[in-house]
Amino acid sequence: MTKSIIKLSFIFLVLACTGIFNGCDKAKLDLLPHGPTEQSYFSSESEFNKGVLGIYSKLTDFFWFNGGPGNTTVTVFLLPGDDITTNQGGEEFEIFSMQPSSGRLGYLYSRHYQMINRANLLIQKIDEEQGKVYTTAGLKNAHKGEALFLRGYAYYNLWNLFGTSPLVIERQSGTDQFLPPGTTGTQLLDQAIKDLSEAATLLPATWDAANRGRVTASSANGMLGKSLVFRASAAKTQADYTAALTAFNKITGASLIPNFSENFSYLTENNAESLFEFQSGQAFGGDNVWLDNDFDNAIGSLSFYWGFYSNNGTGQQGQSRFFATTKLLNAYNAADPRRDSTLNPANRTIRKYVTVDKLNQAGVSSINNYRILRFADVLLLKAEATIQSGGSVVEAIGFINQVRARARGAVAEPANFSLAETNRQTIMQWIMDERLRELAGEGQRWFDLRRWQMQGIISLNNAFFSSNLSTVSFQLPRHLNFPIPSSETDVNPNVPQNTGY
């Protein structure tokens, strides 16, 4: 880890008012603490709960606050795909010019490991003597399940972004642990699968209304199944497809909501289709009463920055403007209601999330929750797992048609695919195209393209991305993994740089 990450493992000052962990810098290590310390904290269920919420709070860094409007790290998830482009040349994540010195990569990398370190500490404390303070039935398991889920989600992201970054699953408590080695193959994804598998056995089926939006057993089974499909694609392991179907079939209480566009409205958050979403909101005391930010309450934010999708003509605060690619526009039948819910066909501006939106107190970013995992995503993954595992083609087509039927509502398009089709390659192409139409602009596309390239069922090249820019320079295998940030490799000789950087 970088030095700034390692410091977190020496000591955590836990702020009683927020339950957020803060790393100490060297200049302050010898000072007497003015509040509770790690040794005196975790003495009640309430304090453990605040510790869990401290893990959730790192999601804020992924999607807005510490990244800032001109440096929003969510662009790392959006721009490498073939669904989104920009109005400004030289955007490193669109033209694949990213380097180890990229500030956004370094920031996103370190924040994932901060989340992991918080989860590691919480899991350790629950398993140690402090965990005996629990008296509420099921709460200890729920808290551990949340920590495992969020750590698993972090490793899922790290594998999809970097591929080979270190694996840390224990609290770093000695100098011999401060320079962990890089990983190879699917080791990061293997850990995500292990964490999510255990989380699924510990998490509750539901939470009460006051805690709505916290992850559940169905959230874990959804992310577990997705991770298994990804590993099956990368490692060509058919057994993982079968295991994914088992996980997906354990999801309870989830369904497609009737109106596609309501998945992106602040009025219909945490609905039956949503399995995991970032609980965007005002600063502490606003609309997310169970989750605090990771900063001063007066100015901190839990919001999501959608300025790059802004429909007022320019991105806010200097952020480049994002558009749908021509490829995405052409992927829709003009009568498919998803087209006009996703983008404006006249100018390709994005409508998802920003059409039925609500800005935060500062008026800069959104308190509309970002949906990280939807049941529509799960249905299309079930179709893929069924096809790839040799299952029923009729069943697989049925999963796709559920998504298409919801999309069309009372109109004629998109029509159902024929159940008479038997060619698995044709059906797989239907699935890939449907994932583009259904999940466009949601930060899913690059991860899909990457794994399908690894599987050998697509061939990525410059033309594939349908960008407005002529400077795209996609190279294989180099760009399947983004560079390990120099902030890591400069201090940790055990982490090799990814190929080509």
Q: Can you read off the two tokens belonging to residue 43? A: 């003495």
What average pLDDT does this structure show over 445-470?
Answer: 90
- Domain-embedded: residue 242: yes
What average pLDDT does this structure show over 451-460?
Answer: 97
User: Which range marks the domain in which residue 272 is found?
Assistant: 3-457
Residue 129 vs residues 126, 137, 195: alpha-carbon distances, Å = 8, 18, 22
Half-sphere exposure (Cβ direction) of 334: Cα atoms closer than 13 Å: 2
Instruction: Name which of 321, 360, 318, 317 is nearest 343 in CA terms.
Output: 321
Q: pLDDT by residue (tens digit) across 235-255? A: 999 999 999 999 999 999 999
**Minimum mean pLDDT range among 108-122, 285-299, 389-403:** 285-299
Q: pLDDT by residue (tens digit) across 164-212? A: 999 999 987 766 678 999 999 999 999 999 999 999 999 999 999 999 9
pLDDT tops 80 at residue 1: no
Question: What is d(CA 45, CA 137) in angstroms, rounded to the nearest whole number?
Answer: 11
pLDDT tops 50 at residue 13: no
Q: Can you read off the two tokens belonging to residue 489? A: 């490799």
- The phi and psi torsions of 334 (rounded to 5 degrees) equal -60, -25
DSSP characters for 311-370?
SSSS-GGGPPPEEE-HHHHHHS-TT-HHHHHHB-TTT-BB-TTTSS--B-TTSSSB-SPE
Give kind and range of the element (H or E) at residue 372: strand 370-374
In terms of average pLDDT, the best of 253-262, 275-284, 306-315 is: 253-262
pLDDT tops 60 at residue 427: yes
Instruction: Name which of 78, 100, 106 is nearest 91 in CA terms.
Output: 78
pLDDT of residue 71: 54
What average pLDDT does this structure show over 405-427?
Answer: 97
- Domain-embedded: residue 467: no
Q: pLDDT by residue (tens digit) across 214-240? A: 999 999 999 999 999 999 999 999 999
**Which residues lie below 8 Å from residue 337, measured CB to CB, with a gap of 6+?**
260, 261, 407, 408, 409, 411
Q: pLDDT by residue (tens digit) across 309-340? A: 866 544 444 457 889 999 999 999 999 999 99
Question: What is d(CA 477, CA 76) in angstroms, rounded to the nearest whole number?
Answer: 18
- The phi and psi torsions of 277 (rounded to 5 degrees) equal -140, 150
CB neighbour class for 355 (10 Å; exposed up to 12, middle 13-18, buried from 19): middle
pLDDT of residue 18: 28
Q: Can you read off the two tokens belonging to residue 483? A: 């560079």
pLDDT of residue 303: 74
The count of domains in the chain is 1
| Strand 21-23 relative to strand 12-14, pairing | antiparallel
What average pLDDT does this structure show over 408-436?
Answer: 97
**Which residues lie below 8 Å from residue 472, measured CB to CB, with a gap of 6+?**
94, 95, 96, 462, 465
The torsion defined by the Cα of 442, 301, 16 and 125, in degrees rounded to 10, comes to 20
pLDDT of residue 4: 32
**Predicted structure pTM score:** 0.90
End-to-end Cα separation, the chain, in angstroms: 19
Question: What is d(CA 467, CA 327) in angstroms, rounded to the nearest whole number?
Answer: 8
pLDDT of residue 260: 97
What average pLDDT does this structure show over 397-420?
Answer: 97
Q: How confident is the model at residue 298 (pLDDT cuts 50, 70, 90)?
A: very low
- Domain-embedded: residue 182: yes
pLDDT: which is higher, 353 or 467: 353
Place of tokens 């991105």: 315
- Domain-embedded: residue 293: yes
- Domain-embedded: residue 120: yes
- Domain-embedded: residue 487: no
**Minimum mean pLDDT range among 78-92, 136-150, 303-317:** 303-317
Question: What is d(CA 162, CA 496) in angstroms, rounded to the nearest whole number?
Answer: 12
Region for 453 from its dihedrals, namely left if φ exceeds 0, alpha if ψ lies in -120 to 50, beta otherwise: alpha
pLDDT of residue 22: 33
pLDDT of residue 368: 85
pLDDT tops 60 at residue 86: yes
Question: What is d(CA 459, CA 464) in angstroms, rounded to the nearest whole number?
Answer: 8
DSSP letter assigned to residue 264? G
pLDDT of residue 208: 95
Question: What is d(CA 193, CA 59) in angstroms, rounded to the nearest whole number?
Answer: 20
pLDDT of residue 12: 37
Which CATH number is 153's domain given?
1.25.40.390
pLDDT tops 90 at residue 385: yes
**Minimum mean pLDDT range among 115-124, 146-155, 356-365:** 356-365
pLDDT tops 60 at residue 296: no
User: How much of the chain, in percent, has pLDDT values that exceed 90?
Assistant: 69
pLDDT tops 90 at residue 356: no
- Domain-embedded: residue 54: yes
| The 3-state secondary structure of 421-438, one letter per residue | CCCHHHHHHHHHHHHHHH
pLDDT: which is higher, 424 or 462: 424
Return the amino acid letter for 323: F
pLDDT of residue 360: 53
**Minimum mean pLDDT range among 50-54, 186-190, 261-265, 277-281:** 277-281
Q: pLDDT by residue (tens digit) across 88-119? A: 766 899 999 999 999 889 999 999 999 999 99
- Domain-embedded: residue 332: yes
